[in-house]
A = this chain, B = another copy of it.
Amino acid sequence: MRNVSKENITSAFLDYMGDDTDDRLKFILERLAHHLHDFVRETGLTHEEWRKGLELLYNAGEISTPQRNEFILFSDVLGLSSLVDMVNSPDNGTPSSVLGPFHILGAPDVPVGVDLIGNNEGQAVVVGGRVLTPQGDPIKGAELEIWQTADNGLYSNQDTAQPEYNLRAHMRTDADGRYLFSTVRPAPYTVPDDGPVGELLHATGRHPWRPSHLHFIVQADGYRSLVTEVFPSDDPYLDEDAVFGVRNQLVMEYQERTDVNGLPDDLEIKDKLKAPFYVVDFDFVLTKDTGSNQRLTS
């Protein structure tokens, strides 16, 4: 149209789309234009502010590599990644939470009860629980991928001092749906703040810290794949995760223990554990696969 105005530009945008545009794409773009246009109208965005926003995006492109994607980081610190996780989480299962950039394929297959501590420094933690249906039935043979930082806050693929696949594992639940491993407590760490995302964080008085967490992907035939992370209840950054990943249901209690009585016999390190150590009991609930919104991770 030739009489584009502040008021009609959103409908002009819609009118431009061809009749054979995919319905879902059309809906998404209609909502996107609606909200971005309202944003400009409500803020009376100046040319200088518009240029600043575009500069942040341009600089994000400059600093991004396949290993460091600043656009995902923008999505993370704006809460968008977490919100996408939440709108796609079924109400009756364990909530999903950000995958993050540190997952790698090929972690070793290990049995239930494995020790991941090896030569790692740090507080020993025994983590175990079950993978369940929403009805509470155990899921046998469910696959878990587990990854976490070492005590220094770095993942194995960020730290040449760590062995390949350090603190990474691939495990299947036993006949009772159980998983179990010993590890060291992961450490809080910062998201990269030396780029445009850091500029945004600094300008708004925000820090780049994430609370410590264990990452999990939990999958079983016929169930929705779950990508999530669990957080210790005493972490200093639990209430201020830079990327909004914490949910009530993903907080686990680190129970301090001084003896191994009552720990399962298939815990590989059971006889060698030195007190004090911590025990975490955390169950995952998978929901039926409805064929939609599947999160693909590999």
Contact = CB atoms under 8 A, between A and B. Distances in A.
A10 to B, nearest CB: 7
Contacts of A5: 86, 247
A247 B3 contact: yes
A40 B47 CA distance: 26
Contacts of A3: 246-248
Interface in A180-212: 203-206
A142 interface: no
Contacts of A26: 204
A167 interface: no
A271 interface: no
A211 B203 CA distance: 41
Given A28-B45, A37-B79, A80-B40, A4 B87 contact: no
Interface string A13-33: 100111111100111110111
Contacts of A22: 203
A247 B6 CA distance: 10
Contacts of A4: 79, 82, 86, 241, 244-247
A258 interface: no
Interface string A75-103: 10011111111111000000000000000
A75 B87 contact: no
A40 B130 CA distance: 32
Contacts of A27: 43
B9 A28 contact: no
Interface string A259-298: 0000000000000000000000000000000001101100
Given A5-B86, A58-B69, 14 more contacts: A2-B248, A4-B245, A9-B82, A12-B244, A16-B240, A20-B205, A36-B78, A40-B80, A54-B69, A54-B71, A57-B57, A57-B60, A57-B61, A61-B61
Sorted nearest first, the 5 A-B pairs with minimum C-beta distance are A18-B205, A61-B61, A35-B35, A57-B71, A17-B204
23 contacts: A4-B79, A4-B86, A4-B246, A5-B86, A6-B86, A9-B244, A16-B204, A16-B240, A17-B204, A18-B205, A20-B205, A25-B204, A27-B43, A28-B49, A31-B43, A32-B39, A40-B83, A40-B84, A46-B84, A50-B81, A54-B69, A57-B60, A58-B69
